[in-house]
Amino acid sequence: MIQRTARNLRRIRSRASGLALRGFFEGLSRAGALHPKAKPARHGVERLRGVPYLDDEHPSHTLDIYRPVAPAGPLPALLYIHGGAFHILSKDTHWLMALAFARRGFVVFNVDYRLAPTHRFPAAIEDVCHAARWVVEHAARYGADAERLVITGESAGGNLATAVTVASCYRRPEPWAAALFDAGARPIATIAACGILQVSDTDRFARRRKLPTVVADQLRHIERGYLPSERGDLSMADPLVFLERGLPPDRALPPFFAFAGTRDPLLPDTRRLAVALEALGVRCDARYYPGGLHAFHALPFDARARDCWRDQFRFLREVVPR
């Protein structure tokens, strides 16, 4: 009885904190969108809303395209995958990231995907693999070069960006992963921002150091809500664990840029990713920003966020042919 009550209290706390986080980020996004500088046209960018990447008319199977107006030629393509613990948020809450990359000369495909717990693993990664394949097949129509494809996302999106990269470079048995591989999609760079790169065993963070109760509950909520009861092969939910196995890829893995703030409870996953990629002989520019909280880079008024964006763009200048 006592254990059941404790579990119920944890569920209530995690739901309440999830609703609070959702309200905070959605409110911040809406408020920011009211600023005159938030209008894409102010930056020479146009936005195409609600382009379907699957023909099933599901509302989550759409993406928004941000592209510079009148470019001199095809521009690198960038698939942006929003975060939100696999449960909340959308492409609409992440317009700032899409606009930031489009201002720097990328055609950005800002993607939605199905959310947990209504749609558990592998729904999200299945959707994003379909979206990546769609980008490869349709990039030219929107002035983008699929040979210069960048995959990026933050938090849960960092997980999905890493998993899409794995599916692009390793031949996998899942039909949606195999279809992406067969389409010849290989990112030229991947950015994994403050990612939760292993969804199973989220208690590992609390074993490392004591976490606030609400944070520990929210991490357990991610695992319980995203993963199915019959777990099976979790390689595409735990791409970090897959890479730590050290298997040689069927296609060369791209260089990675991975970052987190030092006050982010997910920081250990970024450190592990850097070690795993180094063992595979893959470049990984890992950056850790002192005092940064989770997703600190979404706050453009923060000096650490500005430093982080400069570092990302510097990395992209080095690895993406222009």
pLDDT digits (tens, 9 = 90+) for 258-307: 999 999 999 999 999 999 999 999 999 999 999 999 999 999 999 999 99
- CB-CB contact of 152 with 164 (8 Å): no
Phi, then psi, of 94 in degrees rounded to 5? -120, 30
* Res 14: pLDDT: 47
* Res 11: pLDDT: 54
The share of the chain scoring above pLDDT 90, in percent, equals 85
Q: Rounded mean pLDDT of 2-7?
A: 53
Q: Rounded mean pLDDT of 15-41?
A: 62
Q: Rounded mean pLDDT of 97-125?
A: 98
Query: If you ran DSSP here, which 8-state letter would residue 34 be given?
Result: T
Angle between helix 156-169 and helix 175-182 axes, rounded to 10 deg: 60
Query: If you ran DSSP here, which 8-state letter would residue 168 be given?
Result: H
Tell me the pLDDT band of 35, cut-offs 50, 70 and 90.
low
Q: Which residue, among 214, 204, 192, has the nearest Cα to 312 in the 3D structure?
A: 192
Q: What is the 3-state secondary structure (H, E, C) of 162-176?
A: HHHHHHHHCCCCCHH
Digit-coded pLDDT (tens) for 194-204? 999 999 999 99
Return mean pLDDT, the chain.
92
Q: Is a pLDDT exceeding 90 seen at residue 222? A: yes
- Three-class secondary structure of residue 2 per DSSP: helix
The dihedral over CA atoms of 276, 280, 285, 287, expressed in degrees to the nearest 10, equals: 10
* Res 72: pLDDT: 85
* Res 38: pLDDT: 79
> Distance between CA 242 and CA 231 in Å, rounded?
15
* Res 6: pLDDT: 47
* Res 29: pLDDT: 56
Q: Rounded mean pLDDT of 91-108?
A: 98
Q: Is a pLDDT exceeding 80 seen at residue 27? A: no
Strands (E), the chain: 45-52, 62-68, 75-81, 107-111, 144-154, 189-193, 256-261, 284-289
CATH number at residue 25: 3.40.50.1820
- What region, left, alpha or beta, does residue 281 occupy, with left being phi > 0 and alpha being psi -120 to 50 degrees? left
* Res 34: pLDDT: 55
* Res 22: pLDDT: 52
Tell me if the bond preceding 122 is cis, omega within 30° of 0: yes
Digit-coded pLDDT (tens) for 223-269? 999 999 998 999 999 999 999 999 999 999 999 999 999 999 999 99
Query: Encoding tokens for residue 198?
Result: 């292993």
Q: Is a pLDDT exceeding 80 seen at residue 28? A: no
**Domain encompassing residue 148:** 2-319
Q: Rounded mean pLDDT of 208-226?
A: 96
Q: What total number of domains does the chain contain?
A: 1
Higher pLDDT, 1 or 280: 280
* Bridge partners of residue 62, in order along the sequence: 52
Digit-coded pLDDT (tens) for 130-141? 999 999 999 999
* Res 195: pLDDT: 98
Q: Is a pLDDT exceeding 70 seen at residue 73? A: yes
**What pTM was computed for the model?**
0.92
